[in-house]
Amino acid sequence: MPDFLVKRDDLRECRIADSESARLEPGQALLRVASFGLTSNNVTYAVLGETMSYWKFFPAPDGWGRLPVWGFAEVEESTADGLEPGARVFGYVPSSSRLVVTPAAVDERGFWDASPHRAGLPPAYQRYLATATDPFYAPDTEAVQMLARGLFFTAFLIDDQLADEGAVDGGPVVISSASAKTAIAAAYLLSRRDGAEVVGLTSPRNAEFVAGLGIYDRTVAYDSIDSLDRRPATFLDVAGDDGVRLAVHSHYGDELLRSIGVGMTHWEEFGTGAGELPGPAPAFFFAPTRFAKRSEDWGADGLEAKAAAAWHPFCEWVGGWLDVVAEHGFDAVKRAYLDVLEGRVDPATGRVLALER
């Protein structure tokens, strides 16, 4: 069973490893990972693998990690009651060909993975939804689902929190790494709220793409942050770039209402110590916390229904401009991973991958 492994202390080093075929214990199931999407969101999982426990979801040999991704899988074998071989599910999977799970609460909608090593990890990543009943699913949008669904859910929760806190009415929401898909999803949702103003910060090379999306009221290059009006604003930091963060905080000062960390597309510029930040202390947005709150407020089904209703128009919109490239094999996965890691990806392109055909 091939696994794509990343060196945890050197994200540029990766290799393929063949593990022994799984022997299932009673109550377990073997999933064959059919395909998965690879975006800068997955780089964030790797960068925060230690501090946010992302490496714990899919154990690997010492010093290595199985990169968490979102994708589709099929039940290849099952000793779990109620889960039959052939079922197709969407969920959080490793960049591997197989995954052993311990299904719990199995029903027609899917199951939760109750594997002991995942106990205590955020439940938002433990759910596997059966495509036959999944309210998000449409057969002709599988590629967009793999590339954008996981990060869309994060963006949905961010949009919900900002609206809940009155941020949409409190001046512009300024989003760094505006060409990243998490930023795009957040901007898309925010732009549909009455009175919202969304500003995209990006590199000069991506400025035309970002402006052409039609979801940002203004597109600003990183070296022109001081051209923005100095008034109350919210900063949504998808880049994780210390220099960009310092520039935004320095420009707005006490006018900055909140600074929310979301991603690390500029991962090498994170933690470089760019200087003391004026304004509010940055707070990292952890989607599972908001997921738990809204699950309690609305019920799990209510949250799922609201997110699915927002997803379908977004999915159709993305499908109108996203160029999907599908590849398979270790070399393709390695090449795509390093391209994303080094920021060499055209923002209008999405990579869908599989280790096996």
- Residues 298/291, Cβ–Cβ less than 8 Å: no
pLDDT at 267: 67
DSSP sequence for 110-157? EEEE--GGGTTS-GGGSEEEETTT-TT--GGGHHHIIIIIHHHHHHHH
Q: What is the rounded average pLDDT for all residues in the chain?
A: 93
Residue type, 165: E
pLDDT in tens, 227-251: 999 999 999 999 989 999 999 999 9
pLDDT at 107: 96
Greatest distance between any 2 Cα atoms in the chain: 63
pLDDT at 268 over 80: no
Q: Which residue has the tokens 């949409």?
A: 168
Q: Where are the domains of the chain?
A: 2-134+322-354, 148-288
DSSP state of 225: G
pLDDT in tens, 198-236: 999 999 999 999 999 999 999 999 999 999 999 999 999
CATH label, 2-134+322-354, candidates 3.90.180.10, 3.30.70.1170, 3.20.20.70, 3.30.360.10: 3.90.180.10
* Cα–Cα distance, 221 to 237 (Å, whole number): 15
pLDDT at 355: 87
- Residues 255/231, Cβ–Cβ less than 8 Å: yes
* Confidence band for 337, pLDDT divided at 50, 70 and 90: very high
**Cβ-count burial of 52 within 10 angstroms (0-12 exposed, 13-18 middle, 19+ buried)?**
middle
CATH 3.40.50.720 corresponds to the domain 148-288:
yes
DSSP sequence for 164-218? HTTGGGSS-EEESSTTSHHHHHHHHHHHTSTT--EEEEE-GGGHHHHHHTS--SE
- Residues 49/67, Cβ–Cβ less than 8 Å: no
Asked if 2-134+322-354 and 148-288 have one fold, the answer is no
Mean pLDDT for the stretch of residues 38-56: 91
* Cα–Cα distance, 112 to 74 (Å, whole number): 15
* Confidence band for 276, pLDDT divided at 50, 70 and 90: confident
Mean pLDDT for the stretch of residues 139-160: 96
pLDDT at 262: 93
- Residues 107/82, Cβ–Cβ less than 8 Å: yes
CA 282 to chain centre: 20
Residues ≥6 apart with Cβ < 8 Å to 172: 197, 198, 199, 217, 228, 233, 234
Relative to beta strand 349-354, strand 29-38 is: antiparallel
CA 87 to chain centre: 24
Where helices occur in the chain by DSSP H, the ranges are 40-47, 142-144, 150-164, 181-191, 207-212, 242-252, 287-298, 300-319, 330-341
Mean pLDDT for the stretch of residues 86-103: 96
pLDDT at 19 over 90: no
Mean pLDDT for the stretch of residues 26-48: 94
